[in-house]
Amino acid sequence: MNVEFLSTPIDALPAAQWESTAARRSRPVPDTLRPAFAATGAGAGRLDELFAGDALCVTTGQQPGLFLGPLYTIYKALSAIALAERLQTRLARPVVPVFWVAGDDHDFLEAAQTYQVAAAGEVLRLALPDRAPEAPLTPMYREPLGPAVLPLLEALWQELPDTEFRADIAGWLARHYTPEATVAAAFGAALADLLGEFGLVVFHPTHRAAKAAMAPLLIRALEHAAPLDKALARRSAALQRDGATAPVPVGDGASLVMLEGTLGRDRLVMDDRAFHARRSGERHTLTELSALAREAPERLSPNVLLRPVVEAALLPTVAYVGGPGELAYFPQCTPVYETLEVIPQIPVPRWSGRVVEARTRKVLEKYDLTPDDLRLPEGQLEQRLVRGDVPAEAEASLTALRTALEREYDQLRDAATGIDPTLRKPVESTRNAALAGVRDIEKRILSHLKQRNETLVQQVARTRAALFPLGKPQERVLGVPAFLVRYGRGFVAAALAAVRLWAAALEATSDRP
């Protein structure tokens, strides 16, 4: 496979206390949670190990995305797989990779779209119909894909090349992305199907079994809402004093628990001795919420600061693999772990990287570019590349003209200032306008050269779309189906090989004597 995976590290693996953390985090997983898991292939065997009593797990997670969302979703899962392999060897006990499908998320816009690289190299956007502005903020585990997913699948196959792998990948997506499936269910099933052979287990925290298991912890968070709010405010202030970030707003009276009400998923805010939903205003006493947790636990869910604590309470997680955003808010969670008496797992930065295909590498080599050169705004890089085509006499004339203008205007400024100091500014303004005119001529020359060199412009545009689509890092925009169609499931195995090199750095971190 003529594909290269280049690492763009978020951060190094932490020098963590793996052995002691594993000992403190050990706990059996109750059989009542088994219905909340999904696994295929080797993942099914790993799921059995998780419930055997002595296993730990490495977890990661992501809100659902159409056709598995951006590439970093896959990178998170592969990071968990590779890290679990290393820790299993190191700790001499089963360590299972688990993907937490954040189906409670209600950001429909993010979940309902995908970007793929089409056969011609352009970026293709596919999206479900917009949610009505007045519609409730329904969590993705309740949001059906609907019949609109079928034309999206058809549009995808119209834009992707006809390869030997196409039928397999088309069948894989069609099995899971059906009108009847919810956004979260399709995402979780497709992920389990794709990565089950590598031992990944998928966990649906929105399953009633999981919701029932986490409900007592959510009620405890509500019981301690006021002291937690103050402790989180102090923690955020301390982080900011130390120069760290505290990206999640706290200290405003909001609890860490979300409730599904008339307007969809809503944040519960302290209200005297009760709570009200932030948007709808619906008011509930703690007694009523406790009853709801018993009778309809699926209506309650944790916010981003409570979510990792809930996970640590439910599963024997030794490490959580996250992206930059998650790593940024993990330090804010400390008071939540302490208040709810949950031993924290170790946060680990996921593998980050970019795919460099043969056609991309060819352009980079042809013009002696690095991938980061494509970060330059559209037009700047092209101008730099065609500058070598500027005739020598034109380049020399432009340089001589700039030099002469600067020299003569400087002399004129000094002479004029000697006559009247107020003349200095008009002379300098005129000089700057003259130099701007020279720059304008130079830009026009480069623009005409770009137009003449249409091949260069097209190749750079295609390479930029491959590495920085929409001006963003590739892994945050492009989805995996287009790569699977071009390279087959071997694409995932090749990516895992690159991620395993990242996980090998774990050997350099130790708390052993």
The predicted structure's pLDDT at residue 513: 43
The predicted structure's pLDDT at residue 511: 57
The answer to whether residue 262 is domain-embedded is no
Rounded to whole angstroms, the Cα distance separating 311 from 73 reads 18
331 with 447, same domain: the answer is no
What would the pLDDT profile of 106-129 be if each residue is shown by its tens digit?
999 899 999 998 888 889 999 999
Task: List beta partners, residue 478.
Answer: 115
Alpha-carbon distances, residue 403 vs 109, 113, 319, 428 (angstroms): 54, 53, 61, 15
Closest CA to 59 of 100, 23, 25, 29: 100
CB 226, CB 270: distance < 8 Å: yes
102 with 124, same domain: the answer is yes
321 with 426, same domain: the answer is no
426 with 402, same domain: the answer is yes
What would the pLDDT profile of 132-168 be if each residue is shown by its tens digit?
888 999 999 999 999 999 999 999 999 999 999 999 9
CB 302, CB 310: distance < 8 Å: yes
Rounded to whole angstroms, the Cα distance separating 418 from 473 reads 55
Rounded to whole angstroms, the Cα distance separating 46 from 54 reads 12
SS3 115: strand
The answer to whether residue 91 is domain-embedded is yes
Rounded to whole angstroms, the Cα distance separating 273 from 254 reads 13
377 with 422, same domain: the answer is yes
- Residues 6+ positions from 1 with CB-CB distance below 8 Å: 487, 490, 491, 494
467 with 481, same domain: the answer is no
298 torsion bin: left (phi>0), alpha (psi -120 to 50), beta (else)? alpha
Element (H, E) at 98: strand 95-101
pLDDT in tens, the chain (513 residues): 789 999 999 988 888 889 999 999 998 999 999 999 999 999 999 999 999 989 999 999 999 999 999 999 999 999 999 999 999 999 999 999 999 999 999 999 899 999 998 888 889 999 999 988 889 999 999 999 999 999 999 999 999 999 999 999 999 999 999 999 999 999 999 999 999 999 999 999 999 999 999 999 999 999 999 999 999 999 999 999 999 889 999 989 999 999 999 999 999 999 888 999 999 999 999 999 999 999 999 999 999 999 999 999 999 999 999 999 889 989 999 999 999 999 999 999 999 999 999 999 999 998 889 999 998 877 778 777 665 655 556 566 767 777 878 888 888 888 888 888 888 888 888 888 888 887 787 677 666 655 657 777 788 888 989 999 999 999 999 999 999 999 999 999 999 999 999 999 876 655 554
Rounded to whole angstroms, the Cα distance separating 298 from 454 reads 57
Relative to beta strand 353-357, strand 3-7 is: antiparallel
What letter would DSSP give residue 429? H
CB 28, CB 315: distance < 8 Å: no
Total of domains in the chain: 2
Q: How many degrees, rounded to 5, is the angle at CA 10 between CA 75 and CA 93?
A: 60
CB 486, CB 161: distance < 8 Å: yes
499 with 459, same domain: the answer is no
Locus of tokens 């709010």: 229
195 with 334, same domain: the answer is yes
Alpha-carbon distances, residue 241 vs 55, 235, 238, 305, 412 (angstroms): 39, 10, 5, 20, 53
Domain range enclosing 333: 1-214+307-351+477-507
67 with 103, same domain: the answer is yes
- Residues 6+ positions from 284 with CB-CB distance below 8 Å: 259, 268, 274, 275, 276, 277, 292
Which residue stretches of 107-264 are H helix?
Answer: 108-111, 149-159, 166-176, 183-195, 208-223, 225-241
Measured in whole angstroms, the distance separating CA 355 from the mean position of its chain's CA atoms is 16
The answer to whether residue 63 is domain-embedded is yes
Range 394-400, long-range pairs (CB < 8 A, 24+ positions): 394/445, 398/438, 398/441, 398/442
421 with 345, same domain: the answer is no
What letter would DSSP give residue 70? B
Closest CA to 205 of 61, 320, 95, 52: 61
Locus of tokens 């939903």: 277
The answer to whether residue 300 is domain-embedded is no
Phi, psi for residue 81 in degrees, rounded to 5:
-65, -50
325 with 435, same domain: the answer is no
82 with 173, same domain: the answer is yes
Locus of tokens 């052979």: 197
The CB density around residue 202, as the number of other CB atoms within 10 Å, is 27
The answer to whether residue 231 is domain-embedded is no
Phi, psi for residue 363 in degrees, rounded to 5:
-70, -40
